[in-house]
Amino acid sequence: MNQAEERAQFVEAMNNLTSGTYKAQGDLIDFTLYDSMYVDNATPTLNQQLFVNGLGQTDPVTGNRKVLSDTNMRGRVGIPQGQKLMVKFIKTFYHFETVDADGTTLLAFYDMLAETTVNIRIEGKDTYGVWGLDEMLNFPISNASTGATQISTQGKAVGVYPLELPIVLASLTSFELTITHDVAPAAALQDDKLKIGLCGVLGRLS
């Protein structure tokens, strides 16, 4: 290899280091669109809707403005202009406000899981899926005072529910995820935080 060929290879290698971030055809990135709700024992309605109140808007239960740890959804338009989300997994996270030492709070939590359903609906279309919350979030619990463990059936993965067919949320698509309690959650679960993440591949304009 002569000097000119070596220089050409060096220039090509250096050019490769500075390319690839900005693309004319846009980006594909791993992404989770998430939103949160707070368990409410006192409200007359037993349905709560996620992905309808975005960042900076008021949470209907707490009355507080939503911050980034609550949701990364901006505004009320669903999927923003110039983006499309292919949802491949639904992730579920639960944060206890308090836990009793005798395990009664955890048992109330398991009752709530068994009596709650999750429904995803896209505006103008029929439902895209209805699941029991216990199918999405399931794990053994231990009684803190005795160390005894209550065994429960396990889902495909704890807190991560894979979809056999992706849900396509195109640009400017309005959708909602409804949490329905058939029985009001126990007072011990008041203000616990449930976060749902729609996880997959996001296509967006650069």
Of residues 25 and 129, more confidence is placed in 129
Q: Is residue 1 part of a domain?
A: no
Distance CA 167, CA 200 (A): 9
Whether 130 is covered by a domain: the verdict is yes
- pLDDT number for residue 156: 45
List the domain range (segments joined by +) for residue 131: 25-204
Rounded to whole angstroms, the Cα distance separating 135 from 59 reads 26
Predicted structure pTM score: 0.80
The verdict on residue 85 lying in a domain is: yes
Q: One-letter amino acid identity for 184?
A: A
**pLDDT digits over 122-146, tens only?**
888 888 899 999 888 876 555 545 5
Is 15 among the domain residues? no
- Rounded to whole angstroms, how far apart are CA atoms 142 and 67? 32
- Structure confidence at residue 79 as a pLDDT band (50, 70, 90): confident
**Is the residue at 9 inside a domain?**
no
Q: Is residue 127 part of a domain?
A: yes
Q: Which residue has the higher pLDDT, 20 or 89?
A: 89
Contact 128, 120 (CB under 8 A): yes
Question: Is residue 14 one of the residues assigned to a domain?
Answer: no
Angle at 133 between CA 68 and CA 199, to 5 degrees: 45
- Average pLDDT of the residues of the chain: 82
Rounded distance, CA 181 to CA 185, Å? 7
With beta carbons less than 8 A apart as the criterion, state whether 121 and 52 touch.
Answer: no
2 found inside a domain: no
Does residue 51 surpass a pLDDT of 70?
A: yes
Q: Count the domains in the chain.
A: 1
> Does the pLDDT value for residue 97 go beyond 90?
no
More confidently predicted of 139 and 7: 7
* pLDDT band at residue 155 under the 50/70/90 scheme: very low
pLDDT higher at 69 or 106: 69
